[in-house]
Amino acid sequence: MSGPETTTEAVATAAGPWTLLDGAVKGVAKKYSQDRGAALSVADGRAVVLAVADGHGSAAHFRSDLGSRWAVEEFTACARTFAHEVARVGADAAGWPGLRAEARGLPRQVGHRWRERALLHDANSPAHGARSRAFGTACCPGAQAREEPPDLAAYGSTLIGAVLTRDMVFCWQLGDGDVVFVDGDGVPHTPLSTGPDLGDETDSLCEPEPWRKTRSHWQPFTGGVPPCLLISTDGLSKSFADDQGFLDFATGLHERVTEQGVAAVRTQLPDWLARAARFSGDDTTLVGAVTAPAQHSDAT
């Protein structure tokens, strides 16, 4: 279903019991994508790190392709270290409170690192031209001169990330997009969903203290590892008429993995995302970790 106005990409790599999916499609009629995504195997395959970011892309956010790239890079850098600790602790419940405390601090760490990169870039190339150093005195004679504060809205981006091991999962979400688990019975779960979006405004890394608006989820696996975890930018869910259609896509992907194997899904994923981009008109990025029955362990 891919068309000439879109570019597609999808890859799959093996990581422990999972095969990682990573697909991205540029929005129809867009010059370039504002999305970024990453799916990494870490801790010698004992953990997976997933991340997607959606640059806001409007005229006011004309550098959001940089913002989304930095969001994924800084999240994966922080999450990689955290994932090693999650894999080390494993099923030892005595270590879980420490993990949860570290997980609560991760959004702040990512937010500071992202802001440092945006400030450095803006200092070298101000988004709105050279800033006046007389800010304050111009409107208030006698006031102490100070430099106009940088406006980081130009770099605005959402961010969704996850760390997955055999024993548990941690997820974080700032702004729109979706996290979906499909359990062993084929039932989808959206632990960070806040319901249908009511407009184009979304929480962003460019806001002050964005970690305060970051939603998080932690879950130990007492009944076994869920066979499918997907995270995606909102270009995918917006392509469906309703939430149920999006959830049906997630369960359908899991069913295809079970019936046909991961390699078949990898082959079809670019077409699925390209079709979604045609309906939503938006950049569409999906990353995930899936397991397949032994007869379909031909993912790589």
Full DSSP string of the chain? ---TT--EEEEEEEETTEEEEEEEEPPTT-SS--EEEEEEEETTTTEEEEEEEEB--SGGGTTHHHHHHHHHHHHHHHHHHHHHHHHHHTT-GGGHHHHHHHHHHHHHHHHHHHHHHHHHHHHHS-BTBSPPTTTTTTTSTTSPP-PPPP-GGGG-B-EEEEEEESSEEEEEEESS-EEEEE-TTS-EE-TT---S--SS----TTSSSGGGG-EEEEEE-SS---SEEEEE-HHHHTTSSSHHHHHHHHHHHHHHHHHH-HHHHHHHHHHHHHHHHHHH-S-EEEEEEE---GGG----
Mean pLDDT of successive 10-residue segments in the chain (300 residues)? 41 69 90 93 95 92 95 98 97 97 98 97 83 48 60 94 96 97 93 76 94 96 88 95 94 92 91 90 94 60
Residue 144's pLDDT is 56
Query: Which among 76, 97, 75 is positioned nearest to 211, based on CA atoms?
Result: 75
Query: Which pLDDT score is estimated for 133?
Result: 45
Q: Cβ neighbours of residue 249 under 8 Å, at least 6 residues apart? A: 236, 240, 272
Check: CB of residue 221 under 8 Å from CB of residue 213: no
Neighbouring C-beta atoms of residue 117, cutoff 10 Å: 17
- Nearest CA to 134 out of 125, 126, 124, 144 is that of 144
Whether the CB-CB separation of 300 and 20 falls below 8 Å is answered with no
Q: Give the model's pLDDT for residue 17.
A: 83
